[in-house]
Structure 1
Amino acid sequence: MQMYSYPSLDAVKTKFVGTIMNGKMTDDQWQKEIRISSIRSKLNHANYHFERFTANYHYDSFREESGHEVLRAEFSAFVSALLGAIELLSHEVNILFRLAIKERHVKSKSVIQALRLNSPESGTLLKLEKLEGMNWYISLKEMRNKSVHNPTMIWTFHSGGNLSGLIFLPDDPFERDSNSTIEVKKYMSKLIEHTKRFIDDVQLSILDDLPS
């Protein structure tokens, strides 16, 4: 699996984890580092499954029984990894802002509520609040739910294709026109782009909001 670079995550790690003495992290360093590295891992997983999807995606591949299953599995893993990366931001923010939310209760909603009390003017809070209304994020959650709860319907419900034999999703979350469609590989590529951009924006806000 190819490993990608994420400069904003590296910058946060450098600022808040700091120098590891004698090759061994303190408990505080480990708690911070594991959250940051987990986000990186999920993004790498998403890229890996996108590459696997692309390698198996060809003319009329969704009509083939075996090809159909491979594409469905890679697509499901892809959207789960992207959503996982975003969900891990809540854990990162909880640790770095010292919100003291218990691990099992760390959710986007609980982190936003805690930030409103502890850091109401923070740019990080503003970024997290805006996420829920973003069309690409709404679409990502819907796709994850469908792939988990009704996987046999992903292509029959969301496809239709065209004369090229490629898969199209009927709703394009990146366009204002609700009647627009989007080819699935382009959809996945844009999801990666938007997710990385959002995570970068949150990391930059964290760097601005918190002292070393």
Structure 2
Amino acid sequence: MICKECGAKIENLTRICPHCGGRALVDDELETWSFLADTAARKRHEMPAAIAPNEPTAPPADTAEQLAELERLRDYFVKYSNLYQVADDLRYIESGFSHPSFLFWGLAGGLAAALVYFPLSPFLPHFVWTYYFVLWAAVSAIGYLRAGRRYEHRAAEYAMLRRQAENDLHVMYNHCEGCFLPLEWTPPPRINRMIAALRTGEVRSVQDYIGMDAPMRAARSA
């Protein structure tokens, strides 16, 4: 056995450490503590490190070359359209998460306590409001804390999934040679609109298109 306080090894069949007087850990407790420590360490290391996307290269100067390169980039990124969709879906799911409301659980706890306490009140020797409020507080606190733990677990799980999806997206982007588009401009539908704008003469270059679209995107997000 091993002392819980000082870590000294205890040879005799005693649960009191002769060195410091602390309580000893028996084998089953040692296994439990080891399991908890391993689980905590694994949880801490589950979140992978973020992979940063590369900086875009300089775009070709000629419009015809830009069109040819845009078509090449579109053909490359269209093979990985599912990565964009997965990352967007996970961000959308995360945006719907909200921390449990203490007000909601206060009302729910009061209702649950009433449904339990008032039907039993005729059988109690004395109707005491204190018991009802204690039950109300207990139900509300337990429900709120359990909901909070579920929220934290779910949020951490989806944060890890989103990190993995974004890393896959960034790795795919980094493997594209000579990409002069920022990552957010690489979804194939956006490249198609860019190609159409260049072919119709709406813009003269990729830089003009990105600069023209930026104020409109800012206005839509405001």
Q: Under a length normalisation based on structure 2, what TM-score does the superposition of the two structures give?
A: 0.28
Q: Under a length normalisation based on structure 1, what TM-score does the superposition of the two structures give?
A: 0.29
- Which structure exhibits the higher relative contact order, with contacts defined as CA atoms closer than 8 Å and separated by 6 or more residues? 2
